Copies of this chain bind each other. A is one copy, B any other.
Amino acid sequence: MYELGVVYRRIERADRRDTEALAALGSATVHEAMGRVGLMKPYMRPIYAGAQVSGTAVTVLLHPGDNWMLHVAAEQIEPGDLVVAALTSECTDGYFGDLLATSFKARGARALVIDAGVRDVKTLTEMQFPVWSRAISAKGTIKATLGSVNIPVVCAGMLVHPGDAIVADDDGVVCVPRDRLAQTLTAARAREANEGAKRTQLAQGVLGLDMYKMREPLEKAGLRYID
């Protein structure tokens, strides 16, 4: 499916303000608002706990053991972007360290999401440059083969188009297609608004069984209580 050796310089980015708004909502709420789709595979983990970010995707396609295109991607970053790196086949090598992070940060990148390994995680943590990856590895990479920048990629099982909105936190990474961002944001906010009241009730000991009116459907489904 992949076009190799190309860099698309002009991409249509999702609305900046709407994209920013995703971070506070978090990956779980956004994923639910999308109709429970859009989540990358759960092997994608943050290198440190607590980061919660969103940004517009600059996508990169990389070959196993080769990080050349990350340098090419750096030039395409605009403030508010988040780099999403996919691979042509599985690899856990450390494609990204503190030098590239310094460069990405200087260009305005919010984070890196990469379906491979990264290194210098102690320094990245000190820099507070968040990364979601499938592995941590000191193994370096070469610069020999062309991939592409800003083509549609499959990263950790999820299709990402350049310009899509990405939200990432301790629960994982979710991709919101550009043309579904507004409706997703509305749905996510509605969901969020709803949760405060529920939390108060549950904290007082009200059961979800009653709050969500589950007793009748459970009975219909045949649930039996035995004393």
Q: How many copies does the complex hold?
A: 6
Q: Are B223 and A146 in contact (CB under 8 A)?
A: yes
**Cβ–Cβ < 8 Å partners of A38 in chain B:** 1-2
Q: Is the CB of A225 within 8 A of B36?
A: no
Q: In whole Å, how far is A137's beta carbon from the nearest beta carbon of chain B?
A: 4
Count chain A residues whose beta carbon lies closer than 8 angstroms to a beta carbon of B: 101
**Residue interface mask A97-129, B partner, CB < 8 A = 1:** 111101101110000000001011110010000
Nearest B residue to A173, CB-CB: B138
A: which residues have CB within 8 A of B?
Answer: 1-2, 4-10, 26-28, 31-32, 35-39, 41-42, 45, 48-50, 52, 63-66, 68, 71-72, 74-75, 88-94, 97-100, 102-103, 105-107, 117, 119-122, 125, 135-140, 142-146, 152, 154, 157-159, 169-172, 174-175, 177, 195, 198-199, 202-209, 212, 214, 218, 221-227
Q: List 25 A-B contacts (CB under 8 A).
A: A1-B37, A2-B38, A6-B224, A26-B120, A26-B138, A28-B119, A28-B138, A28-B140, A31-B140, A36-B139, A39-B89, A49-B122, A50-B122, A64-B64, A64-B91, A72-B223, A100-B208, A105-B203, A122-B169, A137-B171, A138-B174, A142-B144, A144-B145, A154-B158, A154-B159
